[in-house]
Chain A
Amino acid sequence: MAAERQPPSPDHNIAMWGATGSGKTTFLAALDIALSRADHIDWKVIGANEASTDVLIKLSSKLANDNEFPDATFGVEQYQWRLVGQSEHREGRLWNRRTVRRGHSVGLDVHDAEGELFSNDFIGDHEPMLQSLARSRGIVYLFDPIREFEVGDAYKSLDGMLARLAQRMLNAEDAPDDGRLPHYVAVCTTKFDEVRVLQTAQNLGLLDFDADEHGCPRVAGGEDARELFRELCSVSRSGTADLVLRKLTRYFREDRIGFFVTSAVGFHLDPRVNRFNPRDYQNVVPDARSQRGFRIRSGVRPINVMEPLLWLAERLSDGVRVDLETEAAR
């Protein structure tokens, strides 16, 4: 049997981080859909090997075609994907300036495990995840506010792994002088389509609405997203969610932390007018016949799923410019 041909190494790596059940797999399944839906973004996600490609196809198909959420993770799963795209750059000086297109490949490593891989209590092998985080310079950190309200394990899932990562990287000879980890971190508050999350954003006056034909609500990245994250941390079941932000700012440079409010499935649209309806927008329906007990009501319209990754790609790849504002407004 011929050995599988390995693709060229990516320019950079991005790791996914979040408590088990925080929706990492769903987020990634929605990424392919989000990139496909975007008209003005020339990025795509591909598998780095056959197994990862199979998983990518399966996850996206399940979400987009079957309107079902990906199956829960069993055992330990590792996917290696590539975020591949082009960016335009101005090069040259004065009379010689010109626009050139440059290709980029960003590795997207996903480690997930049944149980609490990130938890202090996890008794399995942390090493692959640790290696992935150490190798990456971008982290997508998923914060599930509903899970935090009901379970409250966000801090528990962050704390131990962060300590191990810091031990490995900050004790190294090439450790940064400022004592901070070198990663860019996209903190993603997920499940924006849930009633409680949307209403919290509405109560805080953080809602903006897309100017496109669907008119879906959105919370702008940056300060607004950070405020919503902070507010949702305050209703943690364990009361420890506020430590998440403190911990992140203690271990990462604050100017390298970005905040996003995301939804993998997006909102249900009123089928009569194909627009967001504030009276009826829930897109997740309990369904006893679905393996996860839920299904998607009327199609997947991811919100702020590709934006955190492109934001990271922009930060990691010098000169990469993705007009996220334009994309977000569309």
Chain B
Amino acid sequence: MAVPGEELPKSLTKAIRGLSGHHRLIVVEAAADGISAYQVGRNAADVPVARVWRTTWEEMSADGAPEKERVLRAARLDPAATTLLVCTFPDGADPAQAIAWLQAAAPDAQTHTAPGAAIGGLLRTVIADEPLTQLYELATLAAGPDGTLRFRGRVLFPVGSRRRDTVPLDLRFHRSDGPGAALAVISWADRRFRLVSLQRAHVPPGRYEVTAELERPGRVRFHGLPDAPVRDDRTWDELVAAVPDRLPPEPPDVHLVCAIETSGPADDVAARLDRATQFVRNAAAGPGPEPAVTLVAYGPHAFVRRPPPPLRVVADRRPAADALRALDDLRDREPDDPGYPRAAAVECVLAELERLIPARDPAHVALLLFGDRPPHPAEVAPSEILPCPAAADWRTTLAVLRRRPGFACGAVTDRPARRADPFWAGFAGDALAGQDAVDVPALAARLGLGAAEPRYVPFPFDETT
């Protein structure tokens, strides 16, 4: 049945809008190359979705002409469905014959003649222009007063929203595991939610201003994330299972302090710098927040009339990337003169750190020494090691630092730990390793540089106030 005066797009829009439940729309296109049967329905989220089957005239022909039965089969007519017949090649004998057979088979079907029309594209446009029939929300998490995590929907698009509608979001992401954070759009109907779309993105922990754009019903794009979201194949159940009961305690900011003895044989100095580099990299790659890194290069005191300073702070609370560059610079320099052979200015390093690190620094401070020589004593000692000219007392300073919450110290010595100067065992305790047997992750964990409990949370938190 032809509908004079009604344009095809309007008919399609009207038909799609009238879909509900299991009702289907069948659009049969008789084109120059064959028949395309489009089946349009609404999925569980009430999003119109279309499927298409294509059959060529050759496939429907016998003895050089289309057969009626084959044409009807290709059209996938359904008495329960609304049917639209469209002839996009009216000049062709085969399309005209097919439309005639189909009209006979489905007398209630509307028939349109639209020469050259691209029905697939037209359907996509019509579907995309459909207003939402259900409320869209983003699945987010929120911590309750007792710390337990609960799902909370962040409204994205209300009923009636159309494509290109946008909404700003303020989302906080925690570290997520391998596949990344899930951006799950859900819809609500009859007090039940449905998963509309699921995307994933590798988003470093932090807070992001994100814009959600309704691309079409059933599809939301998210802009403003460092990684473009892609389709997520995880199931909803998998994602829900990955949500911890409660948010693990927020790991404190980490301040990694590497003090490196940069005087002595070139090979030894290079090995110390390499180890320090490994620790900085390890800390930066850990599950916690990115560490601030302080680097101190030190050597022995020079017992001469105008001694050079025994240490240099080459990076003060810098991002890991800056610290790694500073380590590279140190590596490019000639090692400092070995100087006084029996001690190095460890005591001055500690004194400098006591000065640099505020007493109430909320960060977890992990001090790692990379060296060989013990500190100079504060005064003449039985060891006969020359005292620190500045009278710095490493015992006193270390005790002060150790009293600070979150302070931990360790050391990597040139020699195997058991053969290192006794100072090192007293200084580092069980966080002591020789260059020959350093387990970087294990030692870092002892210093609190790796969170014992992974802090994976697959969904974002809505920070919108």
Contacts and interface: CB of A to CB of B under 8 A. Distances in A.
Same complex origin of A and B: yes
Contacts of B305: 271, 298
B384 A195 contact: yes
A288 B341 CA distance: 8
Interface in A268-309: 271, 278-282, 285-286, 288, 297-298
B106 interface: no
A279 B303 CA distance: 15
B379 A279 contact: yes
B341 A279 contact: no
Contacts of A280: 379-380, 386-387, 389, 391
B303 to A, nearest CB: 5
Given A195-B384, A280-B380, A286 B341 contact: yes
Contact of B380 (A278, A286, A288, A297): A278
A279 B342 contact: no
Contacts of A297: 303, 386
B193 interface: no
A279 B391 CA distance: 8
Contact of A279 (B338, B340, B380): B380
Interface string B383-399: 01011010100000000
Contacts, number: 37
A85 B340 CA distance: 42
A285 B342 CA distance: 10
B5 interface: no
Nearest to A279: B379
A309 to B, nearest CB: 29
Contacts of A279: 378-380, 387, 391
Contacts of B378: 279
Interface string B295-338: 00000000101000000000000000000000000000000001
Contact of B340 (A278, A281, A286): A286
A207 to B, nearest CB: 14
Contacts of B384: 194-196, 282
A285 B380 contact: no
Interface residues of A, number: 14
Nearest to A271: B305
B301 to A, nearest CB: 10
A282 B303 CA distance: 10
Contact of A288 (B338, B379, B381, B389): B338
A280 B393 CA distance: 13
B358 interface: no
Contact of B386 (A196, A271, A278, A285): A285
B384 to A, nearest CB: 5
B308 to A, nearest CB: 15
Interface string B335-351: 00010111000000000
B21 interface: no
B266 to A, nearest CB: 15
B379 A285 contact: no
A285 B391 contact: no
Contacts of A278: 379-380
A286 B376 CA distance: 14
A189 B95 CA distance: 125
B387 to A, nearest CB: 4
B382 interface: yes
Contacts of A271: 305
A288 B342 CA distance: 11
Contacts of B391: 279-280
A16 B183 CA distance: 94
Nearest to B302: A285
Contact of A282 (B341, B380, B382): B380
Interface string B17-52: 000000000000000000000000000000000000
A282 B338 contact: no
A286 B380 CA distance: 15
A225 B342 CA distance: 32
A269 B382 CA distance: 20
Nearest to B387: A280
Contacts of A194: 384
A298 B389 CA distance: 13
Nearest to A293: B341
Nearest to A297: B303
A279 B386 CA distance: 10
A195 B379 contact: no
23 contacts: A195-B380, A195-B382, A271-B305, A278-B379, A279-B378, A279-B379, A279-B380, A279-B387, A279-B391, A280-B379, A280-B380, A280-B391, A281-B380, A282-B380, A282-B384, A282-B387, A285-B303, A285-B340, A285-B386, A286-B341, A288-B341, A297-B303, A298-B303
Interface of A: 194-196, 271, 278-282, 285-286, 288, 297-298
Given A195-B380, A280-B386, A282-B384, 20 more contacts: A195-B381, A195-B384, A196-B384, A279-B378, A279-B387, A280-B379, A280-B380, A280-B387, A280-B389, A280-B391, A281-B380, A282-B380, A282-B386, A282-B387, A286-B340, A286-B341, A286-B342, A288-B338, A288-B341, A297-B303
> Considering the complex of A and B, which 3 residue pairs feature the smallest CB-CB distances, nearest first?
A279-B379, A280-B387, A285-B303
